[in-house]
Each structure stands twice: as structure tokens, then as C-alpha cells.
Amino acid sequence: MKKTRVTIKDIARELKISASTVSRALQDHPALKKETKEAVKTLAEKWNYQPNSMALNLLRQTSTTIAVIVPDITSHFFSAAVTGIQDIFVSSEYNIMICISNESYEEEALIIENLSKVQIAGVLVAPASTTLDFGHFRKLQKNDIPLIIFDRDCEGFEAHKVLVDDYSGAFEAVEYLIKSGCRKIAHITGASNLSTNNHRLQGYIDALKNNNIPILEEHIIQASGFTHEDGIQPTELLLRSNNIPDAIFAVNDRLAVSAMRTAKKLKFRIPEDIAIIGFDDEPHSSYFTPALSTVWQPVYSMGMLSARILLHEIEKEEESKEFRHEVFKTELVIRGTSKRIQGDF
């Protein structure tokens, strides 16, 4: 750790000119004469001069670091979103810093606490499932740090938001199940304070209502988490009850996959005995047998748009109190775990 990078002063000393002249030469300042500029540029090139970004940021009172806070990065959903974000910032002067909240409000608050010690240009956050209080987000806003909420809504909290229309995604999926002949459709839902889960649940309920199918409490089961393992017990509960459903709409693909395997183990035929639709369209979902029907979300685009909005927010001059609110549409992807609709091909 003794690296002594080439500075403007080194170049100035070598050329026997002042640091200001070097600085101006590198910026092609019109007042300088050609020979000076060239001499400086040549030496800077030769010595591989790199401006010290910290000195600059200190002077300008700015930062080129963007923080991205996600609950988890091993799920395809968030890693794809992060990729979208990255792809926008990679061609900008900004660098992204990834922070993982592990779906924990405490960790999320701690991350923001630590972030405030560092200079940060803006924050993109997909809130943890346990986040009910938004004080930490408000603090950022109070400090004039641009904030974008993505994927998961924080109801009652005003900010720029980039979301997915989970409600209609779920509605369409359930409506499809009904049209394909299912009448006893169960739903495996997730943590009840997540906007995404709630909107999907509401979409499920409204689709049933819309078709005059009674909503049965026993057919709405909450999984204790997002992973495959968390789908086993709810499915067993449903398929061993005395009111066995003929379809399961799961709040995500992992739970759907788990439901699939559990159903198979219990000798149910898919989709004849039990149809299954998931949510997310993870890359491997189409490789199961039968291939999983699911709801695709434009997650990469969502990441990109969030990043673009943040970028604009950071660089804009005028002060506006308007918050953007973008909602992406989903797409129903029908594969083998759901029955065909009569005359649908």
C-alpha cells in the first residue's frame, strides 16, 4: 500500500509550470497556447495520469456512487433487476454499490445508516419484506438524496416508484385457470405485508369474484418464505384436505415448482388433476415436466427504467416535488402445468 499515483503536481513540477496550467491544459482551456497543452497532454499520457476522483468529488461536493439495496441477490428476479440497473450505469460516470438486506428491516435500516456515512449520489431500493416503517427512507429524502423504490411498493410513502402490475398479472392467471375449466382454485401466498403478494392475492380474489366463484379461506395458504422448501407444507395441506382444489396459483415460481413436485409425489396428475401457475418465469421454469405455466415480469426493463429515473433525478437542475409512478405490465406464459382453453389453438 505505497502506491503514489501520478498527480497534476508531478506533471507541473516536471514541466516547470504551475498545477493550474496543467489542469487547464488537460481541459483544453482556450487561453493556453498550443505547445503548453501538447507538452502536458503528452506527459500525462506517458505517465498514465488519472485524475483523483476523490479530490474532485470533494471539491465539487458530489459523489458518483449509487447504492442499490435488494433483499437478496440469489433469486433470479433481483439479480436480473440488478443487471438491468448495472447496464444503465455502466456507460455513465456512476458506479453502483450493491447492498443486501436479507429481507430484514433491521439490516436495511443499518445499510442506510452506514450509507449516510459515505457520500452517495442516489439510492435504488427494493424494500425488505419486513419493512413496515419508512423512516429510514424519509431520512434519505430529507437529506436530498434521490430515492427510487422498485418492485415492492411502500404504501403511504411518497417516492419515485417503478412497479409491476401484480394485480392484473394474477387476475389474468386465475381467469385463465377458470376458463380452462378449473373451479376450485387455491392460492399459495407469501408474507402479508409485501405489496406484491397482496396485489397478487387481490387479483386472485377478484378473478374468482368476477366469475362468481366463492372465495374459500381454506384455499388461501400463506407460505412462510420464498424458497422451494416453503412450498411443500402448504401444498400438502391443500392436497390432503377434504376439499381438494383443482388448481393452485402460487405467488412465485419457486413455490409453484415445489407444489408441482409435492403434487406428483401424492400421485396427482398435472394439469389434469391439479393445474399449477406460478409467477416470475424463472429461466429453468420451462424445463420442468410439465413445463411450468407462469406470469412473466419485465424485470430487466424494470431495473433499467429505475436506473434511468434515478439518473435523471440526480442530474436534473430544477426542483420538482412530483413523484413518478411507473407500472409495468406482466405477460401470462401458458405451458404444460395448466390445461388448454377449449378452442384456444
Partner DNA sequence: AATCTCTATGCAAACGTTTGCACGGATATG
Partner DNA sequence: CATATCCGTGCAAACGTTTGCATAGAGATT
Per-residue contact track with a copy of itself, 134 to 173, x per CB under 8 A?
Answer: ---------xxx----------------------------
Instruction: Identify whether the C-beta of residue 92 lies closer than 8 Å to the C-beta of residue 66.
Output: no
3-class SS of residue 273: coil
Contact of residue 31 among a copy of itself, DNA, none (CB under 5-8 Å per partner type) = DNA
End-to-end CA separation in angstroms for the chain:
67
Q: Which residues inside 36-75 make contact with a copy of itself, applying CB under 8 A?
A: 50-55, 57-58, 62-65, 73-74
Minimum distance between the CB of residue 261 and a copy of itself, rounded to whole angstroms? 5
Which residue, 22 or 145, is less far from a copy of itself as judged by CB?
145
Kindly tell me which of 74 and 242 has the beta carbon lying closer to a copy of itself. 74
Three-state DSSP at 328 gives: strand
User: How far, in whole angstroms, is CA 110 from its chain's centroid?
Assistant: 19
Closer to a copy of itself by Cβ: residue 13 or 284: 284
Q: Which does 288 bind (CB under 5 to 8 A by kind): DNA, a copy of itself, none?
A: a copy of itself
Picking from 315, 302, 309, the residue whose alpha carbon sits closest to that of residue 148 is 309
> Is residue 5 within the footprint of a copy of itself (CB under 8 A)?
yes
With contacts defined by CB under 8 A, name the span among 82-90, 160-168, 193-201, 324-332 that binds a copy of itself: 82-90
Distance CA 122, CA 287 (A): 39
- Closer CB to a copy of itself, 120 or 207, in the complex: 120
Count other C-beta atoms under 10 Å from residue 119's C-beta.
15
Instruction: Kindly tell me which of 35 and 272 has the beta carbon lying closer to DNA.
Output: 35
From residue 107, how far is each of 43, 100, 150, 159 by CA, in Å? 48, 8, 18, 21
Residue (75 or 338) nearer to a copy of itself, CB: 75
Q: Give the H or E element holding residue 148.
A: strand 147-151
Contact of residue 321 among a copy of itself, DNA, none (CB under 5-8 Å per partner type)? none
- Of 192 and 289, the one with the shorter C-beta distance to a copy of itself is 289
User: Pick from 23, 36, 95, 193: which binds a copy of itself (CB under 8 A)?
Assistant: 95
Binding mask 224-263 for a copy of itself (x = CB under 8 A): ---xx-------------------------x--xx-xx--
Tell me whether the omega of the peptide bond preceding residue 271 falls within 30 degrees of 0, making it cis. Answer: yes
Angle of helix 229-239 versus helix 253-265 axis, rounded to 10:
50
Residue 104 binds which of DNA, a copy of itself, none (CB < 5-8 A, kind-dependent): none
- Please report how the helices 34-46 and 19-26 are oriented relative to each other, as an axis angle in degrees rounded to 10: 90
| Cβ contact 339:290 at 8 Å | no
